[in-house]
């Protein structure tokens, strides 16, 4: 049976934006967070591709990763993930091949099959390209080919990219990518930080379909976890209201700019909206270290996950740093 101290812990930053400070400060905060987490002992620091969302500043994912990798020295940095339907595989191979060439041994390429945006934005991103989620298995195969060693009959190569062997992960919130990751022998990250309902089934499907490959000899599962850790349960509950407001606005199709915490959510949401937010955050770890440790131990017992990746969207940057610091302390035992 695994203990918390046996597994790796990482962070997924959604680079949250505040109205009064804007994207520039959000990007600077992301680097500062990565630097702190490197000192705290986190394994990897990922950012996710989103578009047309005013409260998330990680749209130019590979550009941001260069900034983050250049400002750190040991922590792995990567995409959690690049939404592959938005891009030609060759372009992603070149971008991440460039990152790997500059920061060898520290780059991860997590891939998603959703557009990371609405359909209108997806069309604006792709223009004449006909890419869609249906092409995902073929696009993954093509991308792996560009990052591997060049074959004698290969006429299109990625430079940089060819031979870099950038680790490729498949990400998913449904069962499709779980099966594909297992069949291709790739590591798998499940998006339980926003879609926990299918988590157990996705893990089972991934492990049942896993075939050893040149990339992995046994399954490797990472789970996304929302985090609000504080020195007391009461403080964590208060800080979490910023997260509740952000998810509520997502459900309503409103601005995702970070909102300050409030004493009570009463009157801010309707009963069905409260239930929807609660479902979205079903895996959330909110509370003091003692409370969070107990919940994490149950999660680990149920899933036998190999790694946990935490996301923490709090209004004050200092509260985010403290939350991740407390988590690191409890994960180390």
Q: What is the number of alpha carbons within 13 Å of residue 238 lying toward its C-beta?
A: 10
Q: In this predicted model, what pLDDT tens digit does every residue of 107-118 receive, in sequence order?
A: 999 999 976 556
Q: What is the mean pLDDT of residues 37-62?
A: 96
**Of 2-6, 31-35, 114-118, 154-158, which range is least confident?**
114-118
Checking if the pLDDT of 249 tops 70, the result is yes
pTM (predicted TM-score): 0.95
Query: Cis omega (within 30 of 0) on the bond before 231?
Result: no
End-to-end CA distance of the chain: 16
pLDDT grade for 123, boundaries at 50, 70 and 90 = confident
What is the percent of the chain where pLDDT is above 90? 90
CB 188 within 8 A of CB 129: no
Largest CA distance in the chain: 66
CB 226 within 8 A of CB 296: no
Checking if the pLDDT of 125 tops 90, the result is no
Checking if the pLDDT of 133 tops 90, the result is no
pLDDT at 135: 87
Q: What is the mean pLDDT of residues 47-68?
A: 96
pLDDT at 72: 98
- How far from 54 is each of 15, 51, 161, 326, CA to CA, in Å? 11, 8, 32, 29
Checking if the pLDDT of 127 tops 80, the result is no
CB 92 within 8 A of CB 84: yes
User: Looking at residue 83, what DSSP letter applies?
Assistant: E
Checking if the pLDDT of 183 tops 60, the result is yes
Q: Which of 6, 1, 37 is nearest to 333 (CA)?
A: 6
Domains of the chain in sequence order: 4-331 (3.20.20.30)
pLDDT at 272: 97
Q: Which of 145, 49, 133 is nearest to 89 (CA)?
A: 145
pLDDT grade for 121, boundaries at 50, 70 and 90 = confident
Q: What is the mean pLDDT of residues 227-242?
A: 98
């Amino acid at each position: 049976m695994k203990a918390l101290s046996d597994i790796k812990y990482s962070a997924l930053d959604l680079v949250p934006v505040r109205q009064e400070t804007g994207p520039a400060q959000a990007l600077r905060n992301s680097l500062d967070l990565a630097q702190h987490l490197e000192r705290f002992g986190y394994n990897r620091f990922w950012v996710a591709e989103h578009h047309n969302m005013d409260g998330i500043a990680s749209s130019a994912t590979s550009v941001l990763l260069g900034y983050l990798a250049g400002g750190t020295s040991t922590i792995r940095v990567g995409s959690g993930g690049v939404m592959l339907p938005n891009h030609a595989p060759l372009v992603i191979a070149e971008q991440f091949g460039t990152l790997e060439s500059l920061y060898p041994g520290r780059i991860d390429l997590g891939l998603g099959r959703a557009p990371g945006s609405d359909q209108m934005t997806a069309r604006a991103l792709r223009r004449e390209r006909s890419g869609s989620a249906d092409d995902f298995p073929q696009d993954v195969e093509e991308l792996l080919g560009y990052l591997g060693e060049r074959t004698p009959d290969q006429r299109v190569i990625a430079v940089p990219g060819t031979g870099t062997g950038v680790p490729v992960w498949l990400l998913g919130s449904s069962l499709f990518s779980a099966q594909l990751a297992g069949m291709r022998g790739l590591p798998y990250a499940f998006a339980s930080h926003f879609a926990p309902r299918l988590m157990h089934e996705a893990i089972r499907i991934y492990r049942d379909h896993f075939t050893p490959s040149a990339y992995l000899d046994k399954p490797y599962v990472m789970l996304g976890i929302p985090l609000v850790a504080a020195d007391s349960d009461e403080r964590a509950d208060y800080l979490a209201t910023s997260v509740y407001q952000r998810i509520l606005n997502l459900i309503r199709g409103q601005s995702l700019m970070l909102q300050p915490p409030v004493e009570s959510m009463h009157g801010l949401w309707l009963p069905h909206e409260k239930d929807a937010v609660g479902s979205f955050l079903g895996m959330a770890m909110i509370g003091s270290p003692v409370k969070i440790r107990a919940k994490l131990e149950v999660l680990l017992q149920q899933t036998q996950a190999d790694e946990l990746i935490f996301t923490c969207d709090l209004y004050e940057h200092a509260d985010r740093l403290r939350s991740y610091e407390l988590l690191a302390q409890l994960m180390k035992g």
